[in-house]
Amino acid sequence: MLDRQSRDSDDEPPTKRLRQTLADDHNESTSLELGDDVQTIVTETLFAEPATPEGVAEAIDVIAGERRLVSGHEDGEEEEEESEAPRETPERSPSPMKYVLSQTAKEVMQDDARHLDFWEWLEKYYPRFPIQTLLDAFDCEAPSDMDMDDFHELLPLLKSAIMHKTARRKKRDDINTIEDVVRLLKESKNIVVLTGAGVSVSCGIPDFRSKNGIYSRLDEFELNDPQEMFDIHYFRDKPETFYTFAKEIYPSNFQPSPSHMFIKLLEQKGKLLRNYTQNIDTLEQVAGIQKVVQCHGSFATARCINCKYEVPGDALEKDIFAQTVPMCPKCPEDEDYRIMKPDIVFFGEKLPDEFDRRFAEDKEKLDLLIVMGSSLKVSPVADVKDKIPHDVPQILINLEALPHMAGFDVQLLGYCDSVVVELCKLLGWQLKHEKVQKKEEEEKVEEEKETEYAAGGEGSSSEEPKLPWIQGRYLHQHLFEGALMIGDMQAGSWVPDSDEDDDGEGSSSSREDSTSSDDEEGEEGKGSESRDTPEAEMEEVNQRDEDDTSAQTPDIEETLNSTPG
């Protein structure tokens, strides 16, 4: 195989030499073989690791033309007949285009299959690739008794392979309770945690999509879509919009939350495989987490969008807090677009190569996925849960359920910090954070007061302690402090009883309301008995997922006003 230097030194463009070599071979597209010099070009674009989705897409278009040439047609001209004594060609290795698709190439094809209609997908890739190669993209091997040259015979097999590979993950019916979550945390050794803005809200960092988030305060800029603030093309024209709000998300004096320290605790116990974070606040590094991938970049570094001059992120700090646009010190003053930009990923930019590389490794190793504080609305990170093996347990820790992302085995709904604190108590783990320690001290004082109250004969200490969570509508949904119940749960939100509820009626009332609601639904024909067993519940949940329907989300303001207690 020729090295890059020798190939670049050739006067003839690589694609032209590829085209000529393929045309000279006169091979059928299903049995194409490449010489060493041409194989270098192909493997470096489409079939070698690491490859990029952009490179794969570009190579697919190139190969389409080459395959038409090899089949014997270009611009409507017929291929010349071969001579009676065909020339001898050197012995060559099988074409990687047919026999070996890189994992990246397979993932690109599979991702297209998730977003395109079957016939649209087929039109895109066939006849660019022979159907045998398309089957290989979905790890499907045709039976030996099938005619490998019969497109119509192999087509149903291809469609079945695509449906099997791209099917939405269904919830496992053997994982439902908080006890199951505790068991999984104890047993798992390769946990992947995917985090979003919800783990940093308690640190004082605003999120983007909530009622009072950053996107809700962009009316003055008359954007067609609030997300344009993070669109790279919009940034080039109007960077002042981003720098008006940049100070709110700049990681200056923020400290990690209990959720961050929970992930660090997993790492200390040798259980964390990777923390994939969508956040750009770098609080993972402040917490001391080593195994972290910044999926959307961070403020750690910055560079000029014109000349790519790189500086430490804190070089922009003065401009960020002054809400002024920082300019590149290296570009001429009359240069357009000499704007400095933090190395965070804007819409229209590709994710760091580290994300694709790490995820390709980790998806074969992980034994538990935990999604914390993320709405999972931005690809490709949002696609992670459906790209891992479907038998790997999946846990959601979030303020609300995600109707568009079905299939989580257990949903722990509420503030992320509140959830992880209770999990650590059940696990017997010490979660080191000043907020946790302060809350534990307050709880201890409260327990002492209750003990004295009971000893004085003014109350009974035989009452069962109140759990810091209640059961949701389904067996796998558990509601903690702050939970927003939307979709298939009762409209409302739940918080623990306040100190004023001395008689404890708030919690029992919530439970009674929940039971009453289920009973009423039973009268309407849904039947509370349908959820008496995990199997019956799973059948209902999976049927709901297949129908892809969910109840209408109540107004958030109305939801908060209906808080019990």
* Residue from 260, 296, 476, 478 carrying the catalytic annotation: 296
Tokens 């962009």 correspond to 218
Domain final residue pick, 315, 344, 373: 344
C-alpha distances (whole Å) from 357 to each of 295, 352, 507 are 11, 9, 48
Q: Is residue 234 part of a domain?
A: yes
Cα angle value 362/284/193 (rounded, 5°): 35
How many Å separate Cα 491 from the centre of its chain?
A: 27
The CATH number that applies at residue 221 is 3.30.1600.10
Contact 494, 470 (CB under 8 A): yes
User: How many Cα atoms sit within 13 Å of 216 on the Cβ side?
Assistant: 8
Name the domain count of the chain: 4
Whole-angstrom Cα distance, residue 365 to residue 234? 39
Whole-angstrom Cα distance, residue 417 to residue 435? 10
Phi-psi region of 50 (alpha: psi -120 to 50; beta: other; left: phi over 0): beta
End-to-end CA distance of the chain: 74
Q: Is residue 349 part of a domain?
A: no
Helix axes 53-71, 14-25, angle to 10 degrees: 40
List, edge to edge, every strand of the sheet that includes 310-312: 310-312, 297-304, 340-344
pLDDT in tens for each of the 565 residues of the chain?
334 344 344 444 444 444 444 444 433 333 333 333 334 444 444 444 455 555 555 555 545 444 443 333 333 444 444 444 444 433 433 333 444 677 778 888 888 887 777 888 888 888 778 888 888 888 888 777 777 777 777 888 888 888 777 777 889 999 999 999 999 999 999 999 999 989 998 888 877 666 666 676 666 666 677 677 788 988 998 899 899 888 888 887 789 999 999 999 999 999 999 999 999 888 999 999 999 999 999 998 999 999 999 999 989 999 999 999 999 999 998 877 889 999 999 988 888 888 888 998 999 899 999 999 998 888 778 888 888 888 999 999 999 998 888 889 999 999 999 999 999 999 999 998 888 888 877 777 777 777 777 676 655 555 566 678 888 888 899 999 888 864 434 434 444 444 434 343 333 333 333 333 333 333 333 333 444 455 555 555 555 555 543 433 333 333 333 333 3
Tokens 């969508």 correspond to 278
Beta bridge pairs of residue 471: 478
Q: Is residue 118 part of a domain?
A: yes
**Which residues constitute the domain of residue 507?**
168-203+257-294+355-432+467-565
**Co-location of 336 and 413 in the same domain:** no
Domain final residue pick, 145, 166, 187: 166
DSSP secondary-structure letter at 406? -
Here the tokens at position 220 are 């003055």
Contact 301, 311 (CB under 8 A): yes
Q: Is residue 350 part of a domain?
A: no
**Co-location of 101 and 162 in the same domain:** yes
* pTM listed for this prediction: 0.60
Whole-angstrom Cα distance, residue 414 to residue 204? 17
Establish whether 424 is an annotated binding residue: no
**Co-location of 327 and 402 in the same domain:** no
Going 16 to 22 to 26 to 29, the CA torsion angle's sign is negative
Nearest alpha carbon to residue 299 among 259, 252, 253: 252
How many Å separate Cα 45 from the centre of its chain?
A: 26
Establish whether 416 is an annotated binding residue: no
**Co-location of 243 and 339 in the same domain:** yes
C-alpha distances (whole Å) from 30 to each of 96, 106, 142 are 11, 18, 15
**Co-location of 396 and 518 in the same domain:** yes
**Co-location of 36 and 143 in the same domain:** yes
The yes-or-no answer on residue 390 being catalytic is no
